[in-house]
Amino acid sequence: MLILGIETSCDETSAAVVEETGDAARPWAIRSNVIASQAEIHREWGGVVPELASRQHVRDICGVVDQAMSDAAVTWADLGAIAVTQGPGLVGSLLVGVSFAKAAASAAGLPLVGVHHLAGHIESVALQNGELPLPAVILVVSGGHTSLYLVNTPGSYELLSRTRDDAAGEAYDKVAKMLGLGYPGGPIVDRLAKQGNDTAIRWPGTRLTHADRNAPELKGDLDFSFSGLKTAVLRHVTLRREQGTPLTEQEIADICASFQRVVVKTLVDRTFKAAQLYGAKSVGVAGGVSANSRLRADLKASGDARELPTFMPDLILSTDNAAMIAAAGLRKFRAGVTSPMDMNADPSLPLVAFRS
């Protein structure tokens, strides 16, 4: 069976065709994955402007779907279902994908499958690597989310922890903005950090020991927090600028490297702590920040040291794309779940019940 996936939750318009292979160990193969990025449009504003994003999705969606269908050499009659990101995300952006998918499903007489954006990120790991040894602990780390999930059985996603404030990618983007480096900041900070001394500034990581008042269902000790680190970087940069001379290239590289050391260490430590607590047989990382070179290297090294297999998607499947939505949609469809035609975009769609 072939499924068309559509993703428009933020600033990428993407469509993909994914095929079921019949191989239980490696269930999906990507036939096409077309991504139209709006980064150039939002760069001028230093972040995603929701109204500009939804308008651009409207312009791009038909061409992107056409391209995905022709790259995969399929027609509507070859498809078995249409999967689309239902939420979370920007409501105007989500609505473009959801409306398109509903119209296409209705015109082609195909079942519709609404997919949670983070289920897509989680499934990107299996889409790339085949089914993971379970239970698996998956770190989803992007511009909007930093969460740990436990996957006990294929398709079940149990939230273990999340960030109390900024997402890791958001902290990267904000630090890049403070340093005048451009948008999106993650890849730029990642690149500059390679030339910096990562212990030039010894910012502390955050450790949380109490449950979050807003989420008493979670124990909270595996939660993340990046706003303190972000503020520490801002204080450092402000104090340094008050001295009157501009920051040198080396100082900027040192700030990037020192900031990145703390973020990556926090992410890696908490992921492996969760793996140990829940007896995981594998660890995965997904989402835009999983493209980070140091995070990838340190996760692999920590996994090797603990003899725990560690999986990540290729860079193209790390950031937002429709192939992961198609894969998560196929998983849901095979479990017998489809969505009604009155399904609506939901900007704060919940993924799973909390673990107590």
Q: Which does 172 bind (CB under 5 to 8 A by kind): ligand KG4, Zn ion, none?
A: ligand KG4
Smallest separation, CB 166 to ligand KG4 (Å): 10
Angle between helix 168-178 and 249-277 (nearest 10): 170
Closer Cβ to ligand KG4, 55 or 296, answer by number: 296
The residue to which tokens 């996760």 are assigned: 299
Pair of tokens at residue 63: 């061409």
Q: DSSP readout, 14-47?
A: EEEEEEE-S-SSS-EEEEEEEEEE-HHHHHTTTS
Neighbour-count burial for 68-87, b at 16+ CB within 10 Å, e otherwise: bbeebebeeeebebbbbbbb
Q: In 3-state terms, what secondary structure has residue 349?
A: coil
Smallest separation, CB 326 to ligand KG4 (Å): 16
Closer Cβ to ligand KG4, 142 or 282, answer by number: 142
Smallest separation, CB 99 to Zn ion (Å): 20
Q: How many Cα neighbours within 13 Å face the side chain of 73? A: 0
Q: Which does 187 bind (CB under 5 to 8 A by kind): ligand KG4, Zn ion, none?
A: ligand KG4
Closer Cβ to Zn ion, 257 or 286, answer by number: 286
Smallest separation, CB 145 to ligand KG4 (Å): 7
Phi then psi for residue 207, to 5 deg, are -115, 130
Closer Cβ to Zn ion, 198 or 320, answer by number: 320
Q: Give CA–CA dist 125/102, Å, rounded.
A: 27
Closer Cβ to ligand KG4, 4 or 286, answer by number: 286
Contact residues toward ligand KG4 (CB under 6 A) are 10, 142-144, 169, 172-173, 184-187, 190, 287-289, 291-292, 319-320
Q: In 3-state terms, what secondary structure has residue 266?
A: helix
Q: Which residues, listed in sequence order, are joined to residue 147 by a DSSP beta bridge?
A: 140, 162
Q: Which does 87 bind (CB under 5 to 8 A by kind): Zn ion, ligand KG4, none?
A: none
Strand 12-20, strand 2-7: pairing? antiparallel
Closer Cβ to ligand KG4, 190 or 251, answer by number: 190
Smallest separation, CB 329 to ligand KG4 (Å): 17
Q: In 3-state terms, what secondary structure has residue 97?
A: helix
Smallest separation, CB 12 to ligand KG4 (Å): 7
CB 183 within 8 A of CB 46: yes
Closest CA to 225 of 165, 169, 161: 165
Q: Which does 184 bind (CB under 5 to 8 A by kind): Zn ion, ligand KG4, none?
A: ligand KG4
Closer Cβ to ligand KG4, 121 or 219, answer by number: 121
CB 329 within 8 A of CB 3: yes
Strand 146-151, strand 158-162: pairing? antiparallel
Smallest separation, CB 254 to ligand KG4 (Å): 17
Smallest separation, CB 319 to ligand KG4 (Å): 3
Q: Which does 120 bind (CB under 5 to 8 A by kind): Zn ion, ligand KG4, none?
A: none
Q: Which does 169 bind (CB under 5 to 8 A by kind): Zn ion, ligand KG4, none?
A: ligand KG4
Eight-class DSSP state of 206: P
Q: Which does 97 bind (CB under 5 to 8 A by kind): ligand KG4, Zn ion, none?
A: none
Closer Cβ to ligand KG4, 296 or 334, answer by number: 296
Q: Which does 289 bind (CB under 5 to 8 A by kind): Zn ion, ligand KG4, none?
A: ligand KG4
